[in-house]
């Protein structure tokens, strides 16, 4: 099989020209190159965009952070600006190995659109907006509209993820992320739960939950979020919500876990969240 040709455009405009001709963007390559090796993709041209300044911005707008699509997980973890988004940092620390974090990018994870993509859990919790650029100009979409299914996104032909806008959550919510896998290192989650929980006087004032690996996309169980409001921060006060959370999932069975196991784990992660929150004095 002949190697796939690659180009390094000098700027974003030239990159978009190559994409219009059928090129495939490449930054860290942790997802794209694996897909090519597995025969899942065979682009006519690889377009290296990992060093384009337009895709490497990190800008504090006062209302949130605009993160360039080509910034790596390691760069985000090292940057002081992300300290205002502890859930993002908490999730990024769990991704792969140091080598993978040094190569993988937020934009790449978005386009891969894997329901097991840990960084996507944080983006759903933060209610991120994905900023796209292409032949028709720029547009932005909520992350839940951008991702349509496993490896399915709203990207139009010739479009590229330019950046992701991450709004600062109001107040000071507690951040939580936990995933369950079949091994201790380099875990690909069979189920994961991320949360932002606002607590006042020992009770839940507001909650955002996001589940990974238990549905075709990251799942926000809105009924459970609403049912948590007003509840004491105690596992026993949440036990009746475990079946509700499990029922909200839409898992599959694969080599890593059965659908039934994923449902059970998702429910138990809710109790783990309750245990992790500060108890009332």
pLDDT tens digits, 46-85? 999 999 999 999 999 999 999 999 999 999 999 999 999 9
CATH number of 6-167: 3.30.465.10
Mean pLDDT value of segment 108-119: 90
Which of 36-45, 199-208, 260-269 is least confident?
36-45
Mean pLDDT value of segment 132-152: 95
pLDDT at 257: 78
Of 115, 103, 143, the C-alpha closest to 127 is: 143
Q: Are 186 and 151 in contact (CB under 8 A)?
A: no
- The alpha helices in the chain, defined as continuous H runs, are 12-20, 32-37, 73-78, 86-92, 98-103, 106-112, 118-125, 143-146, 222-228, 242-248, 259-276
Question: Among residues of the chain, what percentage have pLDDT more than 90?
Answer: 75
Asked if pLDDT for residue 280 goes beyond 80, the answer is no
Mean pLDDT score across all residues of the chain: 92
Asked if pLDDT for residue 230 goes beyond 70, the answer is yes
Instruction: Enumerate the domain spans of the chain.
Output: 6-167, 174-276
pLDDT digits (tens, 9 = 90+) for 83-96: 999 999 999 999 88
Mean pLDDT value of segment 233-240: 96
Of 28, 101, 36, the C-alpha closest to 70 is: 28
Whole-number Å distance between alpha carbons of 193 and 132: 28
pLDDT at 187: 54
pLDDT at 64: 98
Mean pLDDT value of segment 124-152: 96
Q: How confident is the model at residue 29 (pLDDT cuts 50, 70, 90)?
A: confident
Asked if pLDDT for residue 173 goes beyond 80, the answer is yes
Number of Cβ within 10 Å of residue 85's Cβ equals: 23
pLDDT at 186: 47
pLDDT digits (tens, 9 = 90+) for 257-272: 788 889 999 999 999 9
Q: Which two tokens stand for residue 112?
A: 């891969």
Q: Are 160 and 25 in contact (CB under 8 A)?
A: yes
Residue predicted with more confidence, 237 or 185? 237
pLDDT at 143: 98
The DSSP symbol for 135 reads: T
Q: Which two tokens stand for residue 135?
A: 């032949």
Q: Which two tokens stand for residue 2?
A: 């002949």
Q: Which two tokens stand for residue 240?
A: 């009746």
174-276 domain in CATH 3.30.379.10?
no
Q: Which two tokens stand for residue 99?
A: 């080598």
């Amino acid at each position: 099989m002949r190697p796939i040709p690659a180009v390094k455009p000098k700027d974003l405009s030239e990159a978009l020209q190559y994409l219009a001709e059928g090129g495939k963007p490449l930054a860290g390559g942790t997802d794209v190159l694996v897909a090519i090796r597995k025969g899942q993709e065979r682009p006519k041209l690889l377009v290296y965009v990992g060093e384009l300044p337009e895709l490497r911005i990190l800008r504090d707008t006062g209302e949130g952070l605009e993160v360039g699509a080509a910034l790596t997980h390691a760069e985000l973890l090292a940057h002081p600006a992300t300290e205002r988004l502890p859930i993002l940092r908490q999730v990024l620390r769990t991704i792969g190995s140091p080598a993978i974090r040094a190569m993988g990018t937020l934009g790449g994870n978005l386009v891969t659109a894997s329901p097991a993509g840990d960084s996507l859990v944080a983006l759903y919790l933060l209610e991120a907006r994905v900023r796209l650029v292409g032949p028709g100009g720029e547009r932005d979409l909520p992350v839940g509209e951008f991702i349509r299914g496993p490896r399915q996104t709203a990207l139009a032909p010739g479009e590229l993820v330019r950046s992701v806008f991450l709004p600062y959550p109001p107040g000071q919510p507690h951040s939580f992320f936990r995933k369950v896998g079949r091994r201790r290192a380099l875990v690909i989650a069979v189920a994961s739960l991320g949360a932002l929980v606002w607590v006042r006087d020992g009770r839940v004032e507001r909650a955002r939950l996001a589940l990974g690996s238990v549905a075709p996309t990251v799942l926000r169980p809105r009924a459970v979020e609403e049912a948590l409001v007003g509840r004491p921060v105690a596992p026993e006060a949440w036990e009746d919500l475990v079946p509700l959370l499990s029922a909200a999932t839409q898992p599959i069975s694969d080599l890593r876990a059965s659908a039934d196991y994923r449902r059970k784990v998702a429910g138990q992660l809710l109790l783990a969240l309750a245990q992790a929150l500060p108890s009332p004095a």
